[in-house]
Structures are given as structure tokens and as C-alpha cells.
Amino acid sequence: MQLLDGKLTAQSIRIELKEAVDKRKASGHKIPHLVAVLIGSDGGSLTYVNAKVKACQEIGFESTLLHYEDISEEGLLQKVNELNEDENVDGFIVQLPLPEHIDELKITKAIDPRKDVDGFHPENIGNMVLNLPGFLPATPAGIVELIRRNGIETSGKDCLVIGRSNIVGTPMSILLARNGEPGNCTVTLTHSRTKDLKEKTRNADIIIAAIGRPEFLTADMVKEGAVVIDVGTTRVPDASKKSGWALKGDVDFERVAPKCSYITPVPGGVGPMTIASLMINTLRAMELNGK
Ligand code: GUN
């Protein structure tokens, strides 16, 4: 079993990005500026947004965190429009989930696709489906990069995705099925209505677990030699931790890992790769906008 170390892979991406930024600075160019918008005080979202800001600082990007305890939908739409117009902002994200009184799709559609470094705008999703240039959603793109940089063969493999969310499961199934490297998988996208899930997971060469149910994927569901990617990050109570909680993935890591050829840990697997992808998208946003 080999650990797919997202922390290490993300670190090497950050080093490459820092070199690119340093070069730009040395030649008198602007540095990329990422803005993150956070509404409310959900602990998980706050942690992720802080990690995004910290990654910017490490690489030498400019970053701004706009944190609102509460805001109306109208107010947020206005902020999005300001960010769209702001020449000093290369890319921005609105951290999800949003409070119930705000329509997520309305906000996502209001973001200028050229600044949509999360890759959630319908125009970017459309470009992804058609294999045209655009921004790829950060988590699936990070997983593809993790697979690529660790030399894992995907062509012709049977890949099973658990969970059909707009930001992970669905785009993941598209990226791994498309004609590319990595890619060329035969993908099965499974969800709550799927019949005989265990039979399907047991036949898969690559499993992407993205449902947000701690330790859902158990050892009896995995075949020998499978590649297992765990996207889950649920906080569960843990009295042994200072914070009082621990992060749990969707995979029963301890029992599944011995059967795998490769497996990602939680934390330290997909999470850091999501952030690295966002940084890659931000640098590209600046370049694409001709700065
Ligand atoms: N919530 C969970 N993952 C993400 C992400 O990649 N981007 C944003 N904006 N919100 C999220």
C-alpha cells in the first residue's frame, strides 16, 4: 500500500507557484490577488477559508478575506458585482454552503466566469464537459493532479464515484471519463438510489468516496489493489483532541488501506490538493486576463 500524500504533493505545487510569482515580481508584473468571501461562522468553512488565505501568503499571492456574520442575498449580489468590476481582483470565491436565505445558484451565476476560480459557474462547467479551456472545480482538479503527479494509470480502468454533488462527484465523473491523461476511465457515478452498491464498489479499480458519511466505505467493499480517494471531511467528537473533534473521511482507513495499491489519508489527502488547485486557477485567472 502506498499513501497518496496530498500534503506533500500540494507542497511541491506551492513551491512551483511561488517560483512563478517570484519571476513575475522580478520582471515588474503584478502578483495574483484572490478574494475569499465567507458568510457566517461555520467552523469547517472558517478553517478552509483560513487555509486558502494562508496558502496565498506562503506563495506570495495577495489575498483578502471578506467575512460577514450575516448578509442579505441582495447585499451579497452587490458584493459579487463589485468584485467582478474590481481590476485589482484576479479571482474570487464565495465559500459554500451559504445560509438558507441565499440562493447558491443565483450567486454562482452572478460571478464573472473569468474570475470564477472555483470553477462553479455554468459556463466553466460547460467548458469542462466539452473539454474546452476554463476553470476546473478545485477538488476534482486537485484529485486529477494528485493522480497525475503520483504516476497512477487510469486509462481503461473502472472508476466508481460515490456521491453526485455539483462540486465533487459529478465533475469528478466527467474529468475521469474524458479523453485525457489522467482520464479514459469507464466511470460509474453512484448515489443514494444506487442498487447493489457493494457489488459495484468491489469491482472498481478506482473508488472516489465523496458523500460526507464517516467511514462509509468498509474493507468488504473494496477489492485487492484498488486505488481509493477519500474526499470526506466530517467533524466527529473526539475527547482526545484539544479541539474536541477529529476530521473523519468517508473511508474506514485503518481496515481499507491494507487492501489498496494507493489510498489518500484524511486529513492530508484531498484537502491540501483542493487548495493547491485554487492557487493554480488564481494564477491562470491573472494570466488569462492579460496581466
Ligand atoms: N465548500 C466546500 N468545498 C468548497 C470549494 O471548493 N469552494 C467553495 N467556494 N466552497 C466549498
Query: Are both 108 and 160 inside the same structural domain?
Result: no
Map grid coordinates 485589482 to a residue: 88
Q: 150: domain range?
A: 138-271
CA of 95 to the centre of ligand 1 (A): 5
Query: Are both 105 and 156 inside the same structural domain?
Result: no
Catalogue the active-site residues: 52, 95, 118
Query: Are both 108 and 143 inside the same structural domain?
Result: no
CA of 163 to the centre of ligand 1 (A): 16
For residues 62 and 56, the answer to whether their CB atoms sit within 8 Å is: yes
Query: Are both 145 and 230 inside the same structural domain?
Result: yes
The number of the ligand 1 atom at minimal distance from the alpha carbon of 278 is 6
What is the structure's pLDDT at 274?
A: 97
Residue 280 placed within a domain:
no
DSSP 116: B
Residue 131 placed within a domain:
no
Domain of 35, CATH number, reads: 3.40.50.10860
Domain of 264, CATH number, reads: 3.40.50.720
Low-confidence stretches of the chain (pLDDT beneath 70): none
List beta partners, residue 93.
Answer: 36
pLDDT 10s digits, 212-232: 999 999 999 999 999 999 999
Residue 222 placed within a domain:
yes
Query: Are both 175 and 79 inside the same structural domain?
Result: no
Of 168, 186, 153, 171, the closest CA to residue 230 belongs to 168
- Which of 167, 172, 234, 274 most suits a substitution to test ligand 1, by most atoms within 8 Å of the C-beta? 167
- 3-class SS string, 70-108: CCCHHHHHHHHHHHHHCCCCCEEEECCCCCCCCCHHHHH
Query: Are both 73 and 145 inside the same structural domain?
Result: no
What is the structure's pLDDT at 221?
A: 98
Pocket residues for ligand 1 (CB within 6 Å)? 93-96, 118, 138-139, 167, 274
